[in-house]
Structures are given as structure tokens and as C-alpha cells.
Amino acid sequence: MTNLKKIYAALALAALATTSSVQAQETIKLGISAPMSGAAAVWGLGMEWAAKQAADKINLEGGLTVAGKKYKYEIVAYDNKYNAAEGTKVAQNLINREKIKYIVGGIGTAPIQALQSLSERSGTLIFISAWGKSVKGPQFPLTFTQSNTPFEILDPLYRYVLAQNPKAKTVAILNANDSSGKEVETVAQKAWAALGIKVLSSNWYERGTTQFQPIAAKLTEQKPDIIDLGVAPPADAGIMLKELGVLGWNGVKVLPVGTSATQLAQIGGAAANGTYMGYAGDYSSALSTPVQQILNQGMLAQYKEPLNPLQVSSYDSVYALKAAMEASNSLDPKKIAAVLPTLIFETSYGKTVFGGKATYDSPQQIQVPVMITQVQDGKMVELIRIVPEELKTRLAAGK
Amino acid sequence: MDIFGQLFLNSLQISAAYILFSLGLTLIFGVMKVVNFAHGEFFGLVLLLIAIIVPWLNSPALPLALTYAAAGAVSILATMACGWFLYHFAFKKFQRDMVGSFVLSVGLSLLMQGLFLEFFGGVPVKLPDLIEGNLHILGGAITTQRLVLTLIALCVAVVMCWLIAATKLGKALRAVSEDHEAAMLQGIPYRRIALYGFLIATFLAAIAGALLAPVTVISANVGSDFLIKGFIAIVIGGLGSIPGSIIGSILIAVIESVGGYYFDPSLATLGMFVITMLVLLVRPKGIMGNG
């Protein structure tokens, strides 16, 4: 064999090896529909980043095996701008153009409802972090919620806040005027009333609002003991707190959807101090798992923001999907959805399950701890971590 | 807190930003008969550039005011250059073409938003306060820096009105706005005046952005948030009318401020659209519109 022939033979073998490798590892695309720009951008960007970490880790470990065949994951993310119109476009892009059958991250009730109108019909399995109760239940068998929602968070958060501030008797509520805000406001009103707190007013603002002085003046004039900023993202909440501070209001501040202190403190300044949050966790603390600590460091390096539950939910979705694909030994979204509620699977929090049938009539809600945090001197401090009773029971029973 | 004093201060600070923004929009429409949907992106570009330059220049050796001034000057110049480029290679070809310029400006707006997102990222940024502290005036409270920036913005608006009303350039702009063919017959160089009008409008958007930089949250799509309010203002005031854009801006600022207080911000926004529809029903050319 001449040298040239040897080279050709080597190239042919290399090409064959590459082809076999590609065939051995077909790619499964996983979609994300989340805000990647605007006030809530850090949530979507972080969600995409976290999902990529999970996909990369699984791919590096050899991918997943379904029906004897090897697969690897690829993340495809689109910006839904936190509104229904963009959510519809994103749904079309993900499902019809990219032909994606699994969505591992979704933020915003309105864009998720837009996504659902297509995903359930087309047989696409979706993992979401939308807060609305209306997005899951038996009528949506292919939808799973991958992080806590107001139904899991508000009651323990409000109870804790009142235990720390027993003199508080009144609350004023502000929410974004969209599906997420509307659904959360109903639950919040009931939860405050059930705890004996008088709701002085419930107010709405449009996402994209740049001037918060008028509503700050209104809330200050009502002299509430507590102001509940509902689903306001950190950038909006930060401006609102700053305006309240200018007007001299310094009561109890609650931000149920508060995901981190960084942006809140950067924008709100000293006025953000004392804010209670229900949707953040200190993933650098010893309370967190090693996986979460590594992800937290990565997020800080990438976006100068610590990891939050919304972002880490996509990481957990990818692992939940992997577990269910392997357990069902199928790529059929319906078969995967059927097996998901029966599994105990690994996530960044450790072992967990899907439950919540008592609230949603269907076990589609992930069971992870509720973490209550507070902004203190511009930094987030985790005050308490509450593990759901359902998770404790299921893990103890081993099924 | 005296609520009327507070509502007055709120209206004042909100209207200052809208006036600067809508003056540019109405000027472009008046001179070129172009509805410029990319106007918000000039405003956004300045903010985004300042958001990069201020942290880069910021050091204990350099006073913050100087940092902002240097960042503002560079960003305004860069935005003016961008405006000049877009005028020469795009808008100049679609003057007095409502449909063509509409498609062009919407396309440019989307393109620029996409580029901003790509280059600057989507994470909102808040720059450090330029001036610390609050003031209590007429029974209401306002941050010192907002008051200072509002007064500067109002001064710029007054200078601009003087320029339009009393200078040779202003008279040429008004002549072109009223009847460009008649203006050309009088020896006014229409194309040059149109370029000046476009650059002045870009400057107004840029100066509005520079003034708001220390007080607003900066993100890739911040321009589009202001664009809607700017359009409502000039539609109410009368497309192409300078006094109309000022009246429209004050009106929507008052609606936003008073409506936001007595009802809530969402209903105030709804109120703006209702007022717009009523004005268009009663006076389709807007309050001060004449053509």
C-alpha cells in the first residue's frame, strides 16, 4: 500500500468512525420559551444557561439510552418577551419549525398559555415554571410544573412574615397586569385574608412601565403595614421600592417572586433592604447540594447573578425528562408523561417527585423546598427552608 | 405628604422625558412626513452606550458627574453618527412616502433591537445615582437628581422651541413642514433642511436618553417603552406640531400621574388610549394639528 493509499484508508476509517458515532448519538432537541430581554431577562438567560449545563453534563457522561439507542441533548431557546403575542411566535418556532417534542423551560403564564394551545394538540411534553393554576390539571396531561408556584409558596411565606412582624394588620398589593399577575393576585388576596390581614387595595401595572412614581404615591398615601409586590420581576420591584423610599414609606416589603437580592439591591438601593422573598435560595450555602453550589458559581461567573429556583428548574427538567425517557424506554411524549408522576428522580435538590394532586387534581407539580429569604445590607440571607410534606412521605415510602 | 404637590411633581418629571422624546418624533414627521418607529432605538442606543462607558470610566480619581458627562458626550455623538448613516442610506430614500417609511422604520426598529440584544445582552442595568438625596417641594418629595435632570430637560425643550420659532433654521424647518414645494420655490434647500431636522430629532432622543441614564433601568428594549407614549403624545397634540407635542406630552404625563394615583397604572394607560380616541373623533388632526 502506497503512502497515499494509506492516507485515503485512514481518512475513510475516520469518516466511518465519525458516522458511526453520529448514528450512535442522535440529537434530541429540547426547547425553552422564556424572556431573554427586558426586566425579566435574567430569568430566561439563566434558565437557558442552566438547561445547557444539564445537557452538557448528560452528553459528557455518554448521553441517554432509550430502547437500546444512544441519544444526546441540545438546547434551543427563544425569547418570549413575557407576553402572549411573542409566546405564540415562540411556540410556532419551537414546535412547527424546529420540530421539538420536549420543552424543558417556560416562563410567564401568558406566553405559556400560548405555547400550551399548540403543545397539547401536537403531543409536545412541556416543563414550565409559569405560576398560573390554570396551566395544569387533567386537561393538560403533557404539562408539568418544574418549580414552586404561589400555591406552594404564599401560605408559608405570609405566615413567616407575619410571625416576624406581628403588629402588621394591613396590606396593599401590586401586580403586573397579565395572566401571571391575575392568577397570583387571587391567591394572595385569599391568603392574606385567611391570616387576618386587611387588603387595603389591589393594584395593577403594565409590564414595560417606566414611571412608578404615581403608584408609589398611591400606596404610600394608603399607609399599609405591608406592601406585597406580587409577580413584579426584580428590575420593576427595585424601582418601585426606590420610589416608596423617596416618599418615606418604610413598612414590611414582600416580593413573593423575588428571585435574588443582586438586581433588587442594585436598583432599589437601601430601600430594598428588609424585603422578604419566596422564590430565592442561597445556593452557595451548606444547605444546598454540591450540584447547586457549582451551578451557582457558574451563574455568578456568567451573569453576575446568583442562581435562583426559576433558572435551576430547567436543569431539573432535563434530568426529569432523562429519567422518564429511560424508565418508559420510549421517546413518545405521552408515554413519558404517563410515567413521570410514578418516578422518584434525581434533580439538583436531590431526589424528588411530582405531586400536588390535592391542589391541581393531577400530580403535575414538582415537590421541592420552599425557601424564604430576606435582603439584608444588599445581600440575600436565607431564613428558612421548608420541605413539602408530600415529598417527605413519598421519599419515606420509596415510591 | 401633600398629595396635590406630589402629583404635580410626578407629572413634571414624567412630562419632561416625554416632551424631549415626542419633540423629535414630531419634528421628523413635520419635515419628512416619516413616522419614525426607530426613534426609540436612538434613545435606547445612548442609554446602552452610557451603561457601558460609565462603569468603564468610573474610578475614584474621576468625579461621577464628569464620568457621566464624558459618557454622555461620546454616546450622543455616536448616536448622531448612527442617525446620519441611517438618514443617508435609508430614510432619505423614503421621504414623504408614508407606507415605505413605515415599513422601513419598523424594520430598522426590529433590526436595531435585535442588534442591541446581541451586543448588549438582555439583562437590565441600573447605573449609580448622579446626585444623592431627596427634596421636599410643595409638600411632595422628589429625588434631587430627578429634579435637576427634569429642569435640564425642560431647558433643552425651551431652547428647541426658541430654535424652531426664532432662528433661520427653525423658520426653514417650519416652512418645509407646512409646504415643502413652496419652501423650495423660495430657495430653501429641502434635502439639507430635512437632514438637519432628522439630526436635531436624533439629538433630542439622544439627550433624553443621556438625561434619563442615572434614573432609569436600562435594557435593550427601553426605547420601545417610551416610543408608545411618545406616539400617543404627538397623535393627541397633532402630528408635526411642536406645541402640540408639548401639550400632548404634558397631557399624558398628567393622565399617568393622576390616573395612576386615583386608579392604578394599568387604568391610566387605558385612559390614555381612550383620550386619544376621543381627540381623534372630535379633532382628527390632533389638538394643534393643521394639515
**Mean pLDDT confidence for B53-66:** 90
Q: Are residues A268 and A304 in the same domain?
A: no
Cβ pair B261:A217 closer than 8 A: yes
In a domain, A69, yes or no: yes
Predicted confidence (pLDDT) per residue in A225-280, tens digit: 999 999 898 889 999 999 999 999 999 999 998 777 888 888 999 999 999 999 88
Q: What is the pLDDT of residue A157?
A: 95
d(CA A249, CA A217): 10
* Closest alpha carbon to B112 in B196, B36, B216, B210: B36
**pLDDT band for position A8 (50/70/90)?**
low
What is the pLDDT of chain A when averaged over all its residues?
90
Residue B38 has pLDDT above 80, yes or no: yes
**pLDDT band for position B122 (50/70/90)?**
confident
Instruction: Classify residue A286 by its DSSP letter.
Output: T
In a domain, A162, yes or no: yes
Predicted confidence (pLDDT) per residue in B188-239, tens digit: 999 899 999 999 999 999 999 999 999 998 988 888 878 989 999 999 999 8
Cβ pair B1:A204 closer than 8 A: no
Q: What is the pLDDT of residue A10?
A: 52
The set of residues, in sequence order, having a beta carbon less than 8 Å from that of A207 and lying 6+ positions away, is A38, A39, A82, A83, A176, A177, A178, A236
In a domain, A97, yes or no: yes
Residue B37 has pLDDT above 90, yes or no: yes
Chain A partners of B220 at a C-beta cutoff of 8 Å? 37-38, 41
- Give the total residue count for chain A: 399
**Mean pLDDT confidence for B149-167:** 91
Q: Is B281 exposed, middle or buried (0-12, 13-18, 19+ CB in 10 A)?
A: exposed
Q: What is the pLDDT of residue A16?
A: 47
**pLDDT band for position A285 (50/70/90)?**
confident
Angle at A173 between CA B12 and CA B258, to 5 degrees: 25
Q: Are residues A57 and A141 in the same domain?
A: yes
The set of residues, in sequence order, having a beta carbon less than 8 Å from that of A13 and lying 6+ positions away, is none
Predicted confidence (pLDDT) per residue in B226-266, tens digit: 898 999 999 999 988 888 999 999 999 999 999 989 988 88
Which of A252, A277, A302 is a domain's end point? A277
**Mean pLDDT confidence for A115-141:** 90
Predicted confidence (pLDDT) per residue in A354-366, tens digit: 999 988 999 999 9
Residue A18 has pLDDT above 70, yes or no: no
Which of A256, A277, A298 is a domain's end point? A277
Q: Are residues A89 and A141 in the same domain?
A: yes
**Mean pLDDT confidence for A72-91:** 94
CATH number for A105: 3.40.50.2300
**pLDDT band for position B291 (50/70/90)?**
low
Q: Are residues A132 and A162 in the same domain?
A: no
User: What residues does each domain of chain B span?
Assistant: 19-221
List b or e across B17-42, with b for residues whose CB sees 16 or more CB atoms inside 10 angstroms: bbbbbbbbbbbbbbbbbbbbbbbbbb
Q: Are residues A272 and A181 in the same domain?
A: yes
d(CA A90, CA B171): 49
Q: By 3-state DSSP, what share of chain A in percent is helix, strand and coil, each rounded to 5? A: 50, 20, 30
Q: Are residues A159 and A241 in the same domain?
A: yes
Which of A277, A310, A325 is a domain's end point? A277
Nearest chain A Cα distance for residue B182, angstroms: 42
Residue A325 has pLDDT above 80, yes or no: yes
Domain count of the fold of chain A: 2
Q: Are residues A184 and A115 in the same domain?
A: no
Cell numbers 413539602: residue: A388
* Closest alpha carbon to B38 in B125, B99, B89, B113: B113
In a domain, A120, yes or no: yes
Q: Which of A214, A239, A303 sits opposite B123 (nearest CB)?
A: A303
Residue A119 has pLDDT above 90, yes or no: yes
**pLDDT band for position A20 (50/70/90)?**
very low
**pLDDT band for position A200 (50/70/90)?**
very high
**B225/A contact by beta carbon, under 8 A:** yes
Global pTM? Answer: 0.80
d(CA A307, CA A323): 23
Q: Are residues A104 and A189 in the same domain?
A: no
Q: Is A2 exposed, middle or buried (0-12, 13-18, 19+ CB in 10 A)?
A: exposed
**Mean pLDDT confidence for A137-164:** 93
Q: Are residues A136 and A164 in the same domain?
A: no
Residue A121, amino acid? R
d(CA A40, CA A45): 9
Q: What is the pLDDT of residue A257?
A: 82
Predicted confidence (pLDDT) per residue in A84-114, tens digit: 899 999 999 999 999 999 999 999 888 999 9
Q: Which of B7, B219, B269 sits opposite A38 (nearest CB)?
A: B219
Query: What percent of chain B has a predicted confidence (pLDDT) above 90?
Result: 61
Query: Could you list the residue range(s) of the whole structural domain that residue A55 is in?
Result: 11-148+290-368
Query: What ipTM did this prediction achieve?
Result: 0.84
Cell numbers 385567611: residue: A194
Nearest chain A Cα distance for residue B75, angstroms: 21
Chain B partners of A39 at a C-beta cutoff of 8 Å? 124, 217, 219
Chain A partners of B3 at a C-beta cutoff of 8 Å? 217, 221
Of A59-68, A69-78, A178-187, B85-94, the range with the lowest mean pLDDT is A178-187
**Mean pLDDT confidence for B159-165:** 91
**Mean pLDDT confidence for A189-205:** 95
Q: Which of A81, A177, A217 sits opposite B266 (nearest CB)?
A: A177
Three-class secondary structure of residue A349 per DSSP: coil
**Mean pLDDT confidence for A369-391:** 91
Helices (H), strands (E): how many in chain A?
Answer: 14, 17
Cβ pair B261:A235 closer than 8 A: no
Predicted confidence (pLDDT) per residue in A151-168, tens digit: 899 999 999 999 999 999
Cβ pair A205:B264 closer than 8 A: yes
- Give the total residue count for chain B: 291
Three-class secondary structure of residue A383 per DSSP: strand
Q: What is the pLDDT of residue A24?
A: 54
**Mean pLDDT confidence for B170-178:** 90
In a domain, A378, yes or no: no
Residue A6 has pLDDT above 60, yes or no: no
Q: Are residues A104 and A195 in the same domain?
A: no
Q: What is the pLDDT of residue A77?
A: 96
In a domain, A336, yes or no: yes
Q: Are residues A230 and A342 in the same domain?
A: no
Q: Which of A37, A210, A266 sits opposite B122 (nearest CB)?
A: A37
Q: What is the pLDDT of residue A53?
A: 97
In a domain, A5, yes or no: no
Q: What is the pLDDT of residue A3?
A: 56
What is the pLDDT of chain B when averaged over all its residues?
91
Q: Are residues A89 and A172 in the same domain?
A: no
Highest mean pLDDT among A333-337, B25-29, B96-100, B164-168: A333-337
Cβ pair B10:A79 closer than 8 A: no
